[in-house]
Amino acid sequence: MKRFIYNTAVALGVLLGASSCDGFLDRIPTDSVVSESAMATLADAEVVANGLYTDLKYYTMYGSYIPYMGDMRGDNLYPTNASGTGRTIYTLEYEPVQSTYFGMWQNYYTTIMRANTLIANIETIPVMSSADQEKKDDILGQALAIRALCHWDIARLYGYPYMKDNGASLGAVVLTEVVAPSESKLPRNTVAETYAQVEKDLTLALTKLSKSKNDGHFNYWAARMLQAKVALYKGDWQTAYTAASEVVESSPYRMVPNSEYLAYWGKQCDDESVLEFLVTNTGDIDSDGGFYTMYHNMWFEDKAAGADIIPSKAWKDLFANTPNDVRAQMIAYDDPVTGAIKSGEYWLKKFIGNKDLGYTFRRNNPRIFRITDAYLMAAEAALELAGKQDIANEYLNAVVKRADPTAADVVATLDRIQIERQKEFIGEGHRFFDVLRRGGKIVKDASLDDRDFAGNTRQEIDWNDHRVVLPISHNEIMLYPELEQNPGY
């Protein structure tokens, strides 16, 4: 018995001794990585850099809502459904409380936080060679460019057009570092302040970024296009011209020829694309590139479905006299004979799916910058600068004739460029901003359309309308009143 007690005591002692050390309680996850060790090497940093793009590609951002903000608030596209998000955006009747697209504010800050985390930590990563240093610079440049893109997007979505009041309205909360919850209740900066930070980030980014193609990522040329665009919105014609024309003249990108134009939309990062975000088929189809289905008439191959978003009569009429225009061929029509139930309806057959990866029309890479845009930006800026009418003509005609080789030469005017932009960028989210940034007026009259689902809406919107800027989510303001709501909400 004594022996037994002794043995038991020893066994217990061993067990207690072995387990009482805290090691038993130190566990680490295997499906995520503890932050301290997440970005130790340059290879890790590349992975973190990829994380700058993942949220922006979803339907909640460039995959859907941002294009909607440009085309559906504008006069290019309209929703076939009488209720839901599409209608609210089309009519600019934003719900007073939270709507799904209000999440954009938060999504931008998620990506800004990621960029700021990367910028704050990349310095300590050791480099062994000049190639490494270039890589490291490029990653830093990408983070700066993404940060610039997010800030600028916030400014144009939530702030009034720069040229309305020289950026005096409220824009983004400008953030250049990660903030803890206790320091996060920061007021908004003005649009001008936001632009200033965007310009600063881009200037630095351009010194860091590689000029090589880097599919799905910011490189020098993409940042240069963003710089041109920011300048164009600001009325800084010289910068816009210099940046855009450099992309046109010196970048490795080219406008695909007319014969490849329709197929281009099914390619991954073809020569035309300066920046695309990459969708994959591992994600949920609805969120990862899937909402392009809404333009298509075959939602889940359902003949009865019809497209959710269709081109307006106004947009189709742009091609009334130019039937050879390749872009007119993107207007699809459901012939009653084909058996589609919602026959007799036009829809936009632009986003045909990433065929390079074998996807159907459901998964498309959002196009962020195409070189065609550089042509048109350069043309517009050239018109504003003295003595550059010929250059403007040249750039504009390159775009016009690519679309329709039979077209006659046109003389560049601001209006003609605007028309060309409208034709070219449907579904890419430009129209509303293009009109308003210059103080123009959006006129849309759904009653003229084939089917008036939005309910007899005739609207004229200019930059004095409070609905031109999105409201900041009520939930966000509840958290801290220092965040000022836009006027009118």
Partner 1 sequence: MKKLILSVLMAFCTTMLLAQTVTVKGTVIGSEDGLPIIGAYVVEQGTQNVASTDIDGNYVITVPKLATLVVSSVGYHDRVIPVQGRQIINVSLAPETINLDEVMVVAYGTVKKGSYSGSATVVKQDAMKDAPVVSFESVLAGKAPGVQVASFSGQPGAQADISIRGFGSFNAGNAPLYVIDGVPATSGDWASGNMSTSAMSYLNPSDIESITVLKDAAAASLYGSRASNGVILITTKKGKSGKLTSTFKASAGFSYFAYDNYPLASDAQMEELHRQAWYNYGERNPSKWKSYGSLDNYTAEMVEKYYPARDYDKYIYRDWEDVLFRTGISQNYEYSVSGGGEKGKIYASVAYTDQQGVVSIDNLQRFSTTINGETNLNKFIKIGGNLQYSRQFQEGHQEGASTKDNPFFIWKVVLNPRWPYAYKEDGSLYLERWNSSYSTINPVASYNAQINDAKQNRLIIKGFVEAKFTDYLTAKTTLSTDWLYVHDRFGWLYGHPNYTAYSDQGGYMSDRHRNVNRTVSSTTLNFDKTWGDHHVAALAGWEAEEEKYHMTRIGKIDFSYAGATESIFGTNYEDGYAYSREEGLLSALGSLSYDYKAKYYLTGTFRRDGSSRLAPETRWGNFWSVSGSWRFSNEDFLEYEWLNDGKLRGSYGTSGTLPSDYFGYMSVYDFEQYGSAGASYPGNLANTDLTWEKNKNWNVAVDATIFDKYNFTVEYFEKKTTDLLLDAKVPSTTGFSTTLTNIGSMSNKGWEIAVNVDIIKDKDIDLSVGANWSTIKNKVLALSEEGEQQVNNRQIWKAGYCFYQYYTRDYLGVNKETGMPMYARGTFHEGGKPASEDVTLKNGTKIAKGETVPYDTYNYTPTTRSKANSMILDGKTALPKGYGGFNVDFRYKNLSFIMAWSYKYGNYMWDNATDDLCVDGYYWSHRNMLASEVDTWSPENPNGSIPIRIADNTEGGYYDSSRAIHKGDFLRLKNLTVSYTLPKTFTQKYSISNARVYVAGANLLTFSGLHVDPELPSDGYYNFGMPAMRTVTLGLEVSF
Binding to partner 1, residues 109-128 (CB under 8 A): 109-110, 112-114, 116-117
SS3 track for 72-91: CCCCCEEECCCCCHHHHHHH
Residue 331 belongs to what H/E stretch? strand 331-333
Q: Which of 2, 3, 25, 408 binds partner 1 (CB under 8 A)?
A: 25
Give CA 483 to chain center in angstroms: 24
**Least distance in Å: CB of 244 to partner 1?**
27
**Least distance in Å: CB of 428 to partner 1?**
20
Distance spanning both ends of the chain, measured CA to CA: 84
What is the footprint of partner 1 within residues 187-226 (CB under 8 A)?
Answer: 215-216
Question: Considering Cα of 30, then 35, then 40, then 44, what sign does the dihedral take?
Answer: positive
What is the footprint of partner 1 within residues 33-92 (CB under 8 A)?
Answer: 33-35, 38-39, 44, 46-48, 50-54, 57, 82-83
- φ/ψ of residue 302, rounded to 5: -100, 115
Q: Which of 17, 32, 123, 408 binds partner 1 (CB under 8 A)?
A: 32
Q: Which of 3, 28, 259, 339 binds partner 1 (CB under 8 A)?
A: 28
Q: Quick one: which of 257, 59, 46 has its CA closest to 142? A: 46
Give helix 414-424 / helix 371-384 axis angle, nearest 10°.
170
**Least distance in Å: CB of 219 to partner 1?**
14
Q: Which of 2, 3, 5, 337 binds partner 1 (CB under 8 A)?
A: 5
Residue 403 belongs to what H/E stretch? helix 389-403
Q: Which of 124, 129, 259, 282 binds partner 1 (CB under 8 A)?
A: 282
Q: Which of 2, 249, 300, 321 binds partner 1 (CB under 8 A)?
A: 300
- CB closer to partner 1, 1 vs 408: 1
Q: Which of 41, 133, 166, 184 binds partner 1 (CB under 8 A)?
A: 184
Tell me the residue length of the chain. 489
CA–CA separation, 216 and 219 (whole Å)? 9
Running DSSP on this structure, what letter comes out for residue 454?
S
Q: How many residues make contact with partner 1 (CB under 8 A)?
A: 80
What is the footprint of partner 1 within residues 234-253 (CB under 8 A)?
Answer: none
Structure tokens at 414: 């601001």
In this chain, which stretch among 14-22, 234-242, 326-334, 412-420 interacts with partner 1, using CB under 8 A? 14-22
Q: Quick one: which of 431, 407, 381, 393 has its CA closest to 321? A: 407
Q: Which of 132, 384, 394, 476 binds partner 1 (CB under 8 A)?
A: 476
**Least distance in Å: CB of 476 to partner 1?**
6
Running DSSP on this structure, what letter comes out for residue 351?
-
Residue 151 belongs to what H/E stretch? helix 130-158
In this chain, which stretch among 69-77, 304-312, 376-384, 417-425 interacts with partner 1, using CB under 8 A? 304-312
Running DSSP on this structure, what letter comes out for residue 407?
P
The mark string for 318-347 relative to partner 1 (x by CB under 8 A, - otherwise) is ------------------------x-----
SS3 call for 8 = helix
Q: Which of 22, 123, 249, 415 binds partner 1 (CB under 8 A)?
A: 22
In this chain, which stretch among 139-147, 171-179, 387-395, 438-446 interacts with partner 1, using CB under 8 A? 171-179
**Least distance in Å: CB of 433 to partner 1?**
22
Q: Provide the b/e sequence for 343-374 (b: ≥16 CB within 10 Å).
A: eebbbbbbbbbbeeeebbbbbbbbbbbbbbbb
Q: Which of 17, 128, 259, 301 binds partner 1 (CB under 8 A)?
A: 301
Residue 2 in contact with partner 1, rule: CB under 8 A: no
Q: Which of 62, 78, 101, 105 binds partner 1 (CB under 8 A)?
A: 105
Tokens 């007073």 sit on residue: 96
Q: Quick one: which of 436, 438, 432, 458 has its CA closest to 446? A: 458
Half-sphere exposure of 485 (CA within 13 A, CB side): 18
Q: Which of 179, 204, 407, 414 binds partner 1 (CB under 8 A)?
A: 179
What is the footprint of partner 1 within residues 348-377 (CB under 8 A)?
Answer: 353, 359-360, 362
- φ/ψ of residue 276, rounded to 5: -125, 150
Residue 306 in contact with partner 1, rule: CB under 8 A: yes
**Least distance in Å: CB of 136 to partner 1?**
17
Residue 19 in contact with partner 1, rule: CB under 8 A: yes
Q: Which amino acid is at 310?
A: I
Contact between residue 243 and residue 237 where contact means Cβ atoms under 8 Å apart: no
